[in-house]
Structure 1
């Protein structure tokens, strides 16, 4: 064993000249830095982990206090150095955490000496670089000499932290620059030449990486990309991939708290999936809202209970599964009152509701005692209740019951079905949607109706700027066609703007001319690709400062900003002086409708 004094926060040297830092107590963890750094770069992790782990940070060959690697070094030279250090310290097995080049060494150790490694964390690891990137790295390696080039160091810092360096990363950038300026130039060059060609070293060997392995990188790392980490995690039998949003290559020192938290979580339970429970702040309410962004149809699922009584619940968790054989599925919450009846049934029917069946949907989403007394229905081929007036019905036998978290998945084999041409009832963001109604209304509108749109792109709204500095929303006479220059679609097409119209947002009449109607939709736009500089995307929070001539449009935009912030949109009906905002419909019981709780 090494002298126990080395376990204090300080440096030591192994018999072969390897420099290292050892600190803390607990489960042993070997830390391996990247090219141009040293063991000291792990100081943030050592400070945060030393109370629960025995941390050994090694100076790789050619770095810190360690001797130079061979002229034509291989990964095994660096792996052997680390294994000699473990032998010196009397450590039979460790977890290995490596960054960049250190991640390649960590993999090499785990593959060469699997009994010595209990788990692996590969931070910002490279893997099978694309040709252009591989060529750029090889060219940088070939240009290295016996003296460090300050311009090359500056270029490296710019790749890692950005140019100019953000103020909040100035300290981390200074730490990295100091390490690059102090590293032995010859040691750096020999190691970097290996790093430039070792990215595919483990391509055919990762299938033999039996230890739990976490491949973690930053979403903004252009050198060690998320795709690389995902590919390695896929090849390793027990691999997991984790991408940290907004982080770059030097995330270990740029965001040490975040990175170290994820390292600790993995080391505490390395067999647990990285995506499960790794974020303690997972917001279930926001998750439900995100799921609610998916526009779905609305169904009533029915069956016959054990006493011969009809049972049913409202759900939008319905999808087709297979054509041959004909399979569909629907989900029901385990805490739903009808869960027992449905999970033990021989079959069920799925009734897809029409726009005129919002009342029926509400009844079956409620706790009403006798839901079927309020609807007309007939028994289907298998005896399951089929609700009159549905757009389509699928009468199913139970094919499979699948346990899925707090829900059960009912997979049904369709025995019989029917459908008609009625408009289906939609559901999105806690409210019913009737798309057919708005389409029909617009088609029947007078030709002089002004049709416009609030088109959004990533928090920005599309405007046309006039010659006198005012801003207008895209609008025209009628919806029209791309060839009709006066229509909305024609005005957009003239500027090569690719827009998608969504829900109706406002309808009002001119107070001065009641025969003239304005209809505005919400929608999205991919971006103004026109050379016309008068086409602008304006951040929503900056709209209030724009010059807008029409006070009715100004009022509509103020409402849009408010309702977007609340994620609850309605439809304004009236004139530019007075009117009311009507919700898309009376919000349905969101939990019941989304998940099938009743």
Structure 2
């Protein structure tokens, strides 16, 4: 059992530190205005498995002041002196905010002393307006603690008003700011305000596995910053925690600490010879849910996004998307080598694929064009890996780069899916130079169909259609009272479930009213089906070209199937709307009104 005793002590140079536990050593470095004590939640959670050391940075806690014009090297040297005092040759280093900059400096300055690096809420290449605001705040510091300045800092970190769930965390941060030495804070903050580019040209030399983690709502240490740093570091990885802000270490300590320890555990299992490779976790996937998410893609319009090394969002429209593997979960997309965004995507550590809905035609056109600021036209959020996820998409797949494949005038980006989501919106398709709008969604039908609606399906398997043969020798398509669910035996889904038929419904294919009963509506979908293994003697698979030979009692269904066989041969489909006597076939393809999309991979590759 690990020694859970906690020691508060000072090194010979006056550096204050907390030490607890035993095991693999981990050094914790806090941010500006805090102290070693701010890591208490992490110390408590990690001390049973790790030898945890939390340092008071220069000018904080009980440590001496930094030089008046301090450099990051002053803080890194302080950490090295502490490691020497404690007899620790090599440690994993976890830094938050300013502490993460110190951690990077330490790893670059003394790579033999660092086994792994975790950078939390780290600044990198601030945008000009943000850089100016931070430097103005730094210039105003120097005197006694200013209650109004502290209040403004707490508001930036936690919100104004502070949500009740964050009140304790805010109080902890406020207490630290109230007690910090004013001069130490001012000198350190001035350094912090001017160090966001300190490692921009040096991250490529970072030899250790590195995790860059921030919160999706951190406006100062943004997901784009973490994604850009992870991309530059040879063994870098970005993780974005949804809903978290700058002080997530104390606002959500359990969530943050679990991510830290999981990363350190992974690093510990990687042989030294492969430490230069990125370390990724492999989340458990519900294979059926993953398959359903992939099934959201019709004929396919996507926007593929990433963050380039400058921290800018990049994206292009593509229909060259496909699933590759369920285990491991892999997908791919193609981009032309001549596309302006090819360099950004081909050197990226990850990308996101956003499958568009029918309502996102304008976005498709924008990202297929040469618009100067494409992301200004869409709402988006950073995913777990920092890649932009576009609001309103039918499905999104947040990926790490698994492999880049050279393929003629294109590059194939193969991504390992680290996170995905999908909803019931209607997908936007693209076929033969036009958008595809299949119309009535299954969810809308299930919620709003009249009670008498018959819902059926033409289910295909390798060029054959599934039928049920009756005792009289006639053939029927699967159909039921409403779309329903698997536990509703009279519904379409219920009848399929009863016979152990694994079907996937796709396009709406026909809608007609009953000529004899105007209140009765018939709705049929196209779909696919796996060959059943139930041994049901009524199930028949009939080749499409032989359907005309079958005895089918319902003349409307017989007419629909004749159209299906013809359209299947021509590979062009429409939706029939009318009654069983007369109506019209409405083509799925409608002229695209936005920028033209090429019939091959759609791409622009511009920001």
Q: With structure 2 as the length reference, what TM-score do the two structures score? A: 0.52
1:239 to partner: Cα distance = 1.1
Determine the C-alpha separation between the residues in 1 that align with 2:71 and 2:62.
20
* 1:32/1:102 contact within 8 Å kept: yes
1:117 to 114, 118, 121: 114
Unaligned runs of 5+ in 2: 268-274, 301-317, 329-400, 410-422, 446-481, 486-490, 495-503, 534-607
Change (3 A) 1:502 1:71: farther
Aligned to 1:187: 184
Name the Cα RMSD after superposition.
4.4
Q: Secondary structure at the match of 1:159?
A: helix
Change (3 A) 1:50 1:294: same
Tell me if 1:293 matches 2:281: no
* 2:122/2:212 contact within 8 Å kept: yes
Cα-to-partner distance string for 1:196-245 (whole Å, 9 max, x where unaligned): 00111111111111111111111111101111111111111111111111
Q: Secondary structure at the match of 1:296?
A: coil
Determine the C-alpha separation between the residues in 1 that align with 2:531 and 2:249.
42
Change (3 A) 1:584 1:199: same
Determine the C-alpha separation between the residues in 1 that align with 2:430 and 2:216.
37
Q: Provide the aligned length of Structure 1 versus Structure 2.
A: 358
Change (3 A) 1:50 1:586: same
Map 1:458-477 to 2 at 5 A: none
Cα-to-partner distance string for 1:521-576 (whole Å, 9 max, x where unaligned): xxxxxxxxxxxxxxxxxxxxxxxxxxxxxxxxxxx9x99xxx9xx99897875499
Determine the C-alpha separation between the residues in 2 that align with 1:7 and 1:434.
59
Q: Secondary structure at the match of 1:45?
A: helix
Aligned to 2:68: 71
Determine the C-alpha separation between the residues in 2 that align with 1:258 and 1:590.
44
Aligned to 1:503: 439
Change (3 A) 1:8 1:333: closer
Determine the C-alpha separation between the residues in 2 that align with 1:22 and 1:430.
53
* 2:429/2:436 contact within 8 Å kept: no
Tell me if 1:578 matches 2:514: no
Change (3 A) 1:590 1:103: farther
Change (3 A) 1:429 1:197: closer
Determine the C-alpha separation between the residues in 1 that align with 2:425 and 2:532.
9
1:256 to partner: Cα distance = 1.0
* 2:294/2:323 contact within 8 Å kept: no
Which structure would you say has the larger RCO, counting Cα contacts within 8 Å and 6 or more residues apart?
Answer: 2
Tell me if 1:55 matches 2:52: yes
1:8 to partner: Cα distance = 2.2
Tell me if 1:224 matches 2:213: no
Tell me if 1:155 matches 2:185: no
Determine the C-alpha separation between the residues in 2 that align with 1:248 and 1:193.
22
Q: With structure 1 as the length reference, what TM-score do the two structures score? A: 0.53
Q: Secondary structure at the match of 2:161?
A: coil
1:85 to 82, 90, 94: 82
Change (3 A) 1:288 1:178: same
Cα-to-partner distance string for 1:390-448 (whole Å, 9 max, x where unaligned): xxxxxxxxxxxxxx99xxx9x999xxxxxxxxxxxxxx999999999xx9xxxxxxxxx
Determine the C-alpha separation between the residues in 1 that align with 2:54 and 2:237.
24
Aligned to 2:206: 209
Determine the C-alpha separation between the residues in 1 that align with 2:217 and 2:531.
36
Determine the C-alpha separation between the residues in 2 that align with 1:33 and 1:185.
17
Change (3 A) 1:331 1:12: closer
Aligned to 1:385: none
Unaligned runs of 5+ in 1: 298-317, 322-328, 336-403, 414-427, 440-498, 508-555, 593-598
Determine the C-alpha separation between the residues in 2 that align with 1:210 and 1:158.
37
Aligned to 1:588: 529
1:16 to partner: Cα distance = 0.9
Q: Secondary structure at the match of 1:504?
A: coil
Cα-to-partner distance string for 1:98-143 (whole Å, 9 max, x where unaligned): 0000000001111111111111100011111111100000000011
1:196 to 193, 198, 205: 193
Q: Secondary structure at the match of 1:176?
A: helix
Tell me if 1:254 matches 2:247: no
Aligned to 1:127: 124
Aligned to 1:423: none
1:284 to partner: Cα distance = 3.0
Determine the C-alpha separation between the residues in 2 that align with 1:193 and 1:94.
28
* 1:242/1:274 contact within 8 Å kept: no
1:503 to partner: Cα distance = 1.5
Determine the C-alpha separation between the residues in 1 that align with 2:427 and 2:127.
48
* 2:97/2:119 contact within 8 Å kept: yes
